[in-house]
Homo-oligomer: A and B are copies of this chain.
Amino acid sequence: MDSFTPDALLEGMRRRSQTGPRHLLEPGPDARQQQQLFEAAAAAPDHGQILPWRWVVVPASARQRLADAFEAALLERDPAAGQAERERAREKASRAPFLALAIVREGGDGQQHITLHERLASLGCALQNLLLMATCQGFAVGLASGLALRSRALADCFALAAGERAVCFVAVGSAARRRAPRERPHPARFVSELQPAAD
């Protein structure tokens, strides 16, 4: 563990950058690597240990079904959508060798002292662990969101329970070439200090 220094960790964190799922190709993580991705997620803080999130992996065998849901989601919001638009919606389901949906449980579990904000922050912690692990495994990663996440069709496809909500897809794969990570914002842009006395 001697090389697991703060500098090495920061470099690892900075290597994680967004790759569009359409650029994520085979190979993706194998079964053992996928297990490790979720072991990383499991190490996230979880106030009250309520596990306020879950993940659904979309294997190759279920991509057709996801394509159906994406197309139905499009037709929910635009019943007049044309063939080309419908094809584009379907095509998104075939991207990236590893694709999983992150779902938050907002409530309905008798644990309302754990707020929505805490639940989503915990999900974000799990998500970041997963992204860092995939990057450390040598893969490129991407997140995807969009209006389909709020559709009836997607909720039905993933059997979302009352109180659950889809947050984002996480995609993992191999990128032919990875973009240089973007410039990160300087801490001065988002950190301040509380002053001793009110103005």
Contacts and interface: CB of A to CB of B under 8 A. Distances in A.
A118 B1 CA distance: 33
Copies in the assembly, this chain:
2
Given A51-B189, A56-B193, A193-B57, A4 B3 contact: yes
Given A66-B194, A123-B121, A131-B45, A38 B187 contact: yes
A44 B198 CA distance: 32
Contact of A39 (B53, B124, B126, B187): B187
Interface residues of A, number: 86
Contacts of A120: 116-117, 120-121, 123-124
Contacts of A57: 191-194
Given A54-B191, A121-B124, A12 B3 contact: no
Interface of A: 1-6, 8-14, 16, 18, 33, 35-36, 38-45, 47, 49, 51, 53-59, 61-62, 64-66, 100, 102, 104, 115-118, 120-129, 131-133, 136-137, 143, 145, 156-158, 165, 167-168, 182, 184-187, 189-198
